[in-house]
């Protein structure tokens, strides 16, 4: 029997694990292959990957519900991957069918697969673009067709910023999205951190380094810099499981990510 692959693919190669399909598997979705499941099972023997992904998704769902409750009806989900279980459009449109969602990913196979999944939903689409190119993202046909950027929008940057290096200047990137939306728009952000569980997160970073998608853990002060220009809703920048959570313990897999939701201050 052939040995399992040691690297994660970001393309459509069905012979190697794919990051988007791995997330789908961790979330209990059906859009993955045996090669993804084998790699995922090996990784979870070293770190609680599935639990971390599921906690991240739970934070996303809570934040989306809050945005809808506060009047937001359009969402831009950056670095979305496959819109699998508990995805943004299902949560938002369950609260209000008028909600519109554009997912953004730069991996062609993920985009193609997602378009097939979303083809019967007139209020949801996926755009192929690199989140680091703000103009390209906002200029995609999907964004132009579904989102009205003259009105408030929720920009979702959940678990995507750790994939950017320091050379990508993530705080400045968030600022460019902030400057591109109107006052009253929301930012939903989460980020990997080693502040609470340094040994566990070191293992996470090491495992990611074995793939084609390494990650960077950042401190609370680093993440605070990304939130400049936004008024944070209570409880502010906290561990993601504590952000309006339901009493989940702040240890282990639950304590590896910060989360926050902010509102862009109105321009003078």
* Sign for the pseudo-dihedral over CA of 258, 209, 253, 20: positive
**In the predicted model, what is the mean pLDDT of residues 178-195?**
97
Residues 6 or more apart whose CB falls under 8 angstroms from that of 6 comprise 210
Percent of the chain at pLDDT exceeding 90: 63
| pLDDT confidence of residue 241 | 92
Taking the CA atoms of 161, 165, 170 and 171 in sequence, report the sign of the dihedral they define: positive
Q: Name the band, by pLDDT with cuts 50, 70 and 90, for residue 198.
A: very high
Q: What is the pLDDT of residue 183?
A: 97
pLDDT digits (tens, 9 = 90+) for 47-60: 777 788 888 889 99
Domains present along the chain, CATH in parentheses: 48-264 (3.40.50.150)
Q: What is the pLDDT of residue 6?
A: 32
Quick one: average pLDDT of 75-97? 92
Q: Nearest CA to 92 among 117, 67, 120, 118?
A: 67
* Each residue's pLDDT tens digit, 142-185: 999 999 999 999 999 999 999 999 999 999 999 999 999 999 99
At residue 249, does pLDDT exceed 90? Answer: no
Q: Is the dihedral of CA 60, 63, 64, 65 positive or negative?
A: positive
The pLDDT value given to residue 17: 62
Q: Is the pLDDT of residue 18 over 80?
A: no
Most confident of 5-19, 43-57, 68-82, 108-122: 68-82
Q: Is residue 251 pLDDT above 50, yes or no?
A: no
Most confident of 3-12, 133-142, 199-208: 133-142
Which SS3 state, helix, strand or coil, does residue 103 take?
strand
Is the per-residue pLDDT at 13 higher than 60?
no
Over the range 128-160, which residues count as b (16 or more CB within 10 Å of their CB) and which as e? bbebbebebbbebebbeebbeeeebbbbbbbbb
Per DSSP, the residues of 138-183 read HTSHHHHHH--TTS--EEEEES-GGGS-GGG-HHHHHHHHHHHS-T
Residue 204: the pLDDT is 87
- Kindly state the average pLDDT of the residues 200-221: 87
What letter does residue 18 receive in the DSSP assignment? Answer: B
| Among the ranges given (32-36, 73-77, 108-112, 250-254), the one the predictor scored with the smallest mean pLDDT | 250-254
Residue 240 pLDDT: 94
Round to whole Å and give the CA distance between 67 and 74. Answer: 9
């Amino acid at each position: 029997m052939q040995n399992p692959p040691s690297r994660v693919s970001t393309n459509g190669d069905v012979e190697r694990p794919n990051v988007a399909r791995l997330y789908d598997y961790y979330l209990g979705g059906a859009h993955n292959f045996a090669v993804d499941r084998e790699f995922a099972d090996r990784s979870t023997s070293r770190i609680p990957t599935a639990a971390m992904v599921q906690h991240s998704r739970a934070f996303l769902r809570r934040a989306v519900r809050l945005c809808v409750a506060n009047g937001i009806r359009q969402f831009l989900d950056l670095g979305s991957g496959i819109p699998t279980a508990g995805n943004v459009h299902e949560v938002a449109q369950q609260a209000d069918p008028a909600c519109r969602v554009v997912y953004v990913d730069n991996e062609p196979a993920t985009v193609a697969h997602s378009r097939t999944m979303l083809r019967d939903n007139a209020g949801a689409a996926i755009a192929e673009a690199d989140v680091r190119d703000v103009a390209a993202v906002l200029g995609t046909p999907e964004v132009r067709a579904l989102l009205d950027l003259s009105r408030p929008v929720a920009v979702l940057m959940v678990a995507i910023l750790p994939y950017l290096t320091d050379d990508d200047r993530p705080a400045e990137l968030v600022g460019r999205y902030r400057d591109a939306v109107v006052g009253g728009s929301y930012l939903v952000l989460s980020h990997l951190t080693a502040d609470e569980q340094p040994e566990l997160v070191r293992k996470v970073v090491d495992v990611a380094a074995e793939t084609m998608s390494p990650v960077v853990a950042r401190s609370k002060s680093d993440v605070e810099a990304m939130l400049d220009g936004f008024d944070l809703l209570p409880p502010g920048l906290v561990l993601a499981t504590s952000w309006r959570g339901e009493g989940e313990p702040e240890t282990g897999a639950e304590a590896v990510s910060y989360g926050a939701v902010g509102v862009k201050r109105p321009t003078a």
